[in-house]
Amino acid sequence: MERKDLVKDVKRGDILLMSNNTFLGRAIQKITKSVYSHAEIYIGGGDCVGATNKMGQGVRVRPLSWNIKRFYRIDIFRWPNLSEDKAEKVCQNALKHVGENYNYLELFLFPLTFILPDRWKNPLASKHAKICSELVTRSYKEAGIDIIPNKTEGQESPADIGRAKSLRWVGAYKGGWKIRGCKRGKEC
């Protein structure tokens, strides 16, 4: 059986930005004016680490194949020239958060980040509870890579990651297969 494009193209430490049709997913896309509603880190071996809002799950490891089935679109973003050493640090940083809770309160306060000054620090941002995009940016930041400079911690969204000029867009995938003619952050 031929391997899907996504499985061939993804590398350890890559950021996966995803789109789904759930109520919350569509709300995040609408609020952030983006096609993305979720973010995870690919840690290799066919697995990803992400913070999920499903009751009782929080930060967990799950197979890339699960994401391919659940999300109608997955885009790969890559830090340019990410060394194996740095990729390992990013992945280990993400893995150390496995088991932490999902920060539901921060998620519900998230829309305020669009009307309050950028320097406003979300009082519910926590070192021990995460939303998906916060897990991704913190895992990179702890490895010495600031993918969204000048963004207050706890105010990151999948849209912010997708707009980060520091990241290289590898491509968009549907059902694991590359979508030809698609552009970064655009509906296709």
Confidence of residue 17 (pLDDT cuts 50, 70, 90): very high
- Average pLDDT of the segment spanning 111-137: 62
Question: Taking every pair of C-alpha atoms in the chain, what is the biggest distance, in angstroms?
Answer: 52
The pLDDT-based confidence of 9 (bands split at 50, 70, 90) is very high
| pLDDT over 60 at 170, yes or no | yes
- In a domain? residue 159: yes
Residue 184 lies in a domain: no
Whether 70 maps to a domain, the answer reads: yes
Do strands 47-52 and 129-130 pair parallel, antiparallel, or not at all (unpaired)?
unpaired
DSSP 7-41: HHH--TT-EEEEE--SHHHHHHHHHHTSS--EEEE
Q: How many domains does the chain contain in total?
A: 1
Handedness of CA 154, 125, 56, 29 (dihedral sign): negative
Domain CATH code at residue 61: 3.90.1720.10
Does the structure show a pLDDT above 70 at 118? no
Residue 49 lies in a domain: yes
What tens digit of pLDDT does each residue of 139-149 get?
A: 999 999 999 98
Whole-prediction pTM = 0.85
Domain that holds residue 62: 5-178
Residue type for position 17: L
